Amino acid sequence: MDAAFWHSKWQSQQIGFHLDAVNPLLTEFWSSLQLSPDAEVFVPLCGKSLDMTFLAEQGHRVMGCELSELAVRQFFEEQGLDASLEIAGMHQKFSFEEITVYQGDFFALQPEQTTPCDGFYDRAALIAWPEEMRDSYARKLAQLLKPGAIGLLVTLDYPQETLQGPPFAVSEGWIDQHLAPYFDIEQLCCRDVLADNPRFVKKQVPWLNEAVYRLVRNTQDID
């Protein structure tokens, strides 16, 4: 999966991963992090997610990163926000008041860009990567977050052989093995959501679980 894959998805508007409402799990569990209202929150692979508007409405400054320029422009246009644009290193930086989105390669972000972030939120980023690319994403995310940064991670798990991702299946075992070096992990909930996902039902996927984790970046250094 390369950049062309995601650009093609946005150009053809094959964006089944995009929700037309704020994620209910975000509204249910975000307050449990007890972040200060003025904390800055990092949202990797943010697309045009309405979750960013929810976070901004809580008082947070929001910093997103998204590969697709089309997605970023659609977000600000659909929210009626007249974003400013400047070049920031290898990214285009779109900003309007409390929301900033760096458009470009997630892996080109530098820790100094995300240092202000005390919180983070990942609903569609980790599950967007096939397993062979997932470690690189997890390591980069940890590199971008300072010790003590706290966030929510939302994942899906199902028998991967029954459906071609994305979204890809991420098990609790994978989380424990691959994220534990960088994060303190607590699973907040795990729910059967098969009936709410017609695509999975149509493909005869036998089960589908959605889980929410509380992650806290530990003090492990990353070279």
CA atoms within 13 A on the CB side of 11: 6
Verify that 171 and 66 share a domain, yes or no: no
Same structural domain for residues 2 and 96?
Answer: yes
31 domain-assigned = no
Listed in sequence order, the DSSP H helices in 43-197 are 51-57, 69-78, 111-114, 131-144, 172-178
**30 lies in a domain?**
no
Q: Is residue 26 situated within a structural domain?
A: no
CA-based radius of gyration for the chain = 17
Query: Which domain-ending residue is among 99, 121, 143?
Result: 121
Rounded-to-integer distance, Cα 48 and Cα 120, Å: 16
3-state secondary structure of 193: coil
Tens digits of residue pLDDT in 115-130: 999 999 999 999 999 9
Whether residues 89 and 140 fall in one domain: no
How much is the pLDDT for 164? 87
Asked whether residue 45 is assigned to any structural domain, the reply reads yes
Contact 207, 192 (CB under 8 A): yes
CATH number of the structural domain spanning residue 164:
3.40.50.150
Question: Residue 1: pLDDT band by 50, 70, 90 thresholds?
Answer: low
Q: State which of 73, 103, 121 marks the end of a domain.
A: 121
* Phi-psi category of residue 89: left, alpha or beta, with phi > 0 → left and psi -120 to 50 → alpha: left
Six-digit token pair at 177?
């093995």
Domain that holds residue 136: 123-218
One domain, residues 141 and 88: no
Instruction: Examine the pLDDT at 2 and tell me if it is beyond 80.
Output: no
Q: 123 near 55, Cβ under 8 Å?
A: no
Within a domain: 128: yes
Domain membership flag for residue 28: no
pLDDT at 9 over 90: no
Task: Say if 142 falls within a structural domain.
Answer: yes
Contact 99, 72 (CB under 8 A): no
Q: How many domains does one find in the chain?
A: 2
- 73 lies in a domain? yes
For residues 80-96, average pLDDT: 96
pLDDT given at position 21: 85
* Overall average pLDDT of the 36-60 stretch: 96
Is residue 61 domain-shared with residue 142, that is, in the same domain? Answer: no
End residue of a domain, out of 88, 121, 154: 121
